[in-house]
Amino acid sequence: MSRLRLAGLVLVLLFVVGIAALFAFGLRVNFGAAEPDYEALAAPASNYDVEIIRDKFGVPHIYGQRDADVVFGLAYAQAEDDWATMQEIVVAARGNLAQQRGADAAVTDYLVHLLRVWPTTNAGYPDLPQNIREIAEAYAHGTNLWASEHPDEVWDGVLPVTGEDVIAGFVFKTPFFYGLDGVFKELFEETRSKEISLGPDNAFLWTETPKYPIGSNAIAVAPSRSTDGHTRLLINSHQPFAGPVAWYEARLKSEEGLDIAGGVFPGAPVILHGHNRNLGWANTVNKPDLADVYVLDVNPDNPNQYRLDGEWRDMEASVATIKVKLFGPLEWHAQRDVKYSEHGPVLETEHGVYAVRYAGMGETRQLVQYHSLNRANNLEEWLDAMRLQALPSINYVYGDKDGNIAYIYNAQMPKRIDGWDWQKYLPGDRSELIWSEYHDFDALPQLINPPSGFVFNANNTPFEATDDADDLRPESFPVTMGIETQMTNRGYRGLELLRPDTQISAEEFKDYKFDKTYSKDSELAKLIEVWLAEDFSGEPDMEAAQKLLADFDMSADMNDRNAAVAVLAGEPVVWAQIQGTPMPDTIQSLRDTVAHLMEHWGRLDVPWGEVNRIRRGDIDLPLGGGPDLLRAVYARLPQDDGRLVAQGGDTMIYIADWAPDGSLKSESIHQFGSATLDETSPHYADQTPLYATEQFREIPWDREALEAEATRTYKPGQ
């Protein structure tokens, strides 16, 4: 045999061995799932009788005999408008997102296993009320029908979607609204970031949280506080403009009791916040201390054991396979340990082994509570729904046609023993620190019909929610609840507007919602003081910036020529607060802003609306507002042309207005339109001009009015 031929055989052998080794370590070929039976997927549609009427803005109004009929139609309508997001949510909740999105999604998939999303779902699903399971399955059937009609748009392995998929979406996502993801992110860091709580000698007092949420606004004004005796409710959640937690607007009407309009996220079968003919509610994010981290003492002779009450206990251990897309059909199958202690999921890191216990563990009743809220017709029924306590967090601001208003600081609040600093890491070897119950609903901070006649929240502390005399007091609640005490600019400013105004008109109500002024107590006001105190002698552009800052009236109106310097220079600080990252150099931030404006405009007094934009398709419009304003606009980093483009903040806004006779006027606006992804649709951006100019559209609640403006009427599956 020639040396050349021998060398070739050796290379081939090495290649084969190398490939075999790669397969041994985790390389796999994905040959694809079996082709779904599309006819079988579409067959359940015959069990539903639903009609979808799209109004002149393309918003679906969905009519059916049963709640399940309506939910089936909602899923179909959402799939028409936002299928890509819907299927991504299904895949993410299954722990298979990395198989589609690659390595960036591997941590998400691991968390699905670590949080026991599917053991929890499978254990709890059979115990859900039959009508709730029927609703979950109706949503799955509507999803499958649309997918069966558009197979080319469906990822491999997604179908069939099931009722369990719907519930798993709630199980996985709801804890992240109060920041559970931040707890895990903190533990994944290279070094331990908190001390271990040592007990009574350093138990904590009320402290401010370091992270400011992007936020939401909610206001309810009672007849006693309004000029005309009306009850008004502002529903104004601040969300990303697109993606899995972007609002989709719908109206649901059944003969079993659903008659409600508002917003849903992709994958949600009922309205998450909105209003029916009799009442409504708005949500804002709250940040109580709902998760605890325990430092485990692991047996040096057995990594699957930890010490508890002086004894070694076995962890529940399993192995999760994370399938990561590489390229083409190739995947990498990574094996990761999944461990569980009596406390909860366990994380093994370079700086220690930790267990996490959090509100919402094992909870599958989220849809039960949301459905009950949707069906409530008066304050008592609505409060009964809230008492289910299936939702681990989120503030609720309420109003109704009878003139009732309320603010509920909702949380599954752990019952913890006194004497420990629960915001630090806890020793994991003491069972008395493993809480197992929540405080009753009536023990939570709440204001129901306060004499002041209004309630308000903008992600600020619940202890600043109305007139001073009627506000709740921190000392009335256990320190172990860990209720936040921070104020946002929106919190300061909202109360500056509402408290002095003892008779609020309809016009003022809208003006307050779109207010663009930073409070004198805001972080931006403090920054401006720092910038004005700096000596920029000999730097003409910086001195010019100081002149604009000195003249700035704190308003981010689109025509304001002083706002660009202040808001742009302050934005990195706001984002650092939002993300919990280190504060930037504030002087350098001002210098960077001056350089940016001079580079792109050649001057500093650029009208704010020339910088701050909303873009959608061919539409490019100026916006007033900015970060942490009541007119909330959060933008991407400057584009190539130097402008900011809004990516979140004010999204779907509702105002529900009940007259003294109980009649309802409902107005809304969406930042884009009902066609979330279809750029060819007339409803891709038809609401954007109204949004940019702070106008509303009136919702047609009566069928006759709806049919008069309908753009399309159809029955899915027929």
- Concatenated DSSP letters for 447-504? EES-TTSEEEESSS-TTSSS-GGG---GGGS-GGG-------HHHHHHHHHHTT-SSB
Q: What three-state secondary structure class fits 262?
A: strand
Q: In the predicted model, is pLDDT for residue 201 greater than 50?
A: no
- According to the annotation, is 650 in a ligand binding site? no
Position 329 scores a pLDDT of 81
Q: Strand 426-427 vs strand 291-295: parallel, antiparallel, or unpaired?
A: parallel
CA nearest 514: which of 557, 574, 570? 557
Q: Strand 27-29 vs strand 50-54: parallel, antiparallel, or unpaired?
A: unpaired
CA angle, 248 then 70 then 162, to 5°: 80
More confident position, 16 or 642? 642
Give the whole-angstrom CA distance, residue 36 versus residue 623.
47
Q: What three-state secondary structure class fits 166?
A: helix
Quick one: CA dihedral 152, 155, 160, 165, positive or negative? negative
Exposed e or buried b per residue across 333-366, where buried means at least 16 C-beta atoms within 10 angstroms of its C-beta: ebeeebbbbbbbbbbeeeebbbbbbbbbbebbbb
Q: Strand 248-254 vs strand 60-64: parallel, antiparallel, or unpaired?
A: parallel
Q: Residue type for 62, please? A: I
Of the candidate ranges 198-202, 214-218, 549-553, the one whose mean pLDDT is the lowest: 198-202
- According to the annotation, is 292 in a ligand binding site? yes
Q: Residue 717's pLDDT band (boundaries 50, 70, 90)?
A: confident
Residues with Cβ < 8 Å from 320, sequence gap 6 or more? Answer: 95, 109, 110, 113, 114, 335, 336, 337, 338
Give the whole-angstrom CA distance, residue 137 versus residue 128.
12
Give the whole-angstrom CA distance, residue 109 versus residue 287.
25
Give the whole-angstrom CA distance, residue 646 versus residue 611.
11
Give the whole-angstrom CA distance, residue 356 versus residue 178.
15
Average pLDDT score over residue span 367-389: 99
Q: Is 589 in the active site?
A: no
Q: What three-state secondary structure class fits 441?
A: helix
- E-assigned strands of 395-442? 395-400, 405-409, 426-427
Helix (H) or strand (E) holding 374: helix 366-375
- According to the annotation, is 37 in a ligand binding site? no
Domains and CATH numbers, the chain: 523-652+676-701 (1.10.1400)
Q: In the predicted model, is pLDDT for residue 213 greater than 60?
A: no
Tens digit of each residue's pLDDT (9 = 90 or more) over 559-584:
999 999 999 999 888 777 766 678 89
Tokens at residue 529, please? Answer: 């003081």
What integer best gives the mean pLDDT of the chain? 92
CA angle, 185 then 267 then 711, to 5°: 135
Q: Is the pTM of this model over 0.75?
A: yes
Q: In the predicted model, is pLDDT for residue 11 greater than 60?
A: no
Tens digit of each residue's pLDDT (9 = 90 or more) over 276-303:
999 999 999 999 999 999 999 999 999 9
Q: Which one of 148, 197, 216, 668 is the catalytic residue?
A: 216
462 close to 409: Cβ distance less than 8 angstroms: yes
